[in-house]
């Protein structure tokens, strides 16, 4: 189950970037996706040098996932937004039960 959760989590991370690009294509979307990827890489990712401790990291994850959900809704993808939000919250919560491998 841990491996499945990590796979779904990675899919959610990619879907978050897709949401930002789709929402603001071309310029705002690319800038938004890059900004989200930088924040994730600096503060959330398992190999981040400045990885935030919980609960701050969890709140930042949920904030990024909520913004991506709003982006999906804004482009008219409400069903996708709901499915994404559920998957993102569940996997973010389960990562606290089954921690990611940390470098």
* 29 within 8 A of 23, measured Cβ to Cβ: yes
Neighbours of 76 (CB within 10 A): 9
- How far is Cα 93 from Cα 99, in angstroms, rounded to an integer? 10
What angle is formed at CA 16 by the lines to CA 87 and CA 53, rounded to 5 degrees?
A: 75
pTM: 0.93
Q: Which of 60, 67, 54 is nearest to 41 (CA)?
A: 60
pLDDT tens track, the chain, 103 positions: 889 999 999 999 999 999 999 999 999 999 999 999 999 999 999 999 999 999 999 999 999 999 999 999 999 999 999 999 999 999 999 999 987 776 5
pLDDT at 102: 63
């Amino acid at each position: 189950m841990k491996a499945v959760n990590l796979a779904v989590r990675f899919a959610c991370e990619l879907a978050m970037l897709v949401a930002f690009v789709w929402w603001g294509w071309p310029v705002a979307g690319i800038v938004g996706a890059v900004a989200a990827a930088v924040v994730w890489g600096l503060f959330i990712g398992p190999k981040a040098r400045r990885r935030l401790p919980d609960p701050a990291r969890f709140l930042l994850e949920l904030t990024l996932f909520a913004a991506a959900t709003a982006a999906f809704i804004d482009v008219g993808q409400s069903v996708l937004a709901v499915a994404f939000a559920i998957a993102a919250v569940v996997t973010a919560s389960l990562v606290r039960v089954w921690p990611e491998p940390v470098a």
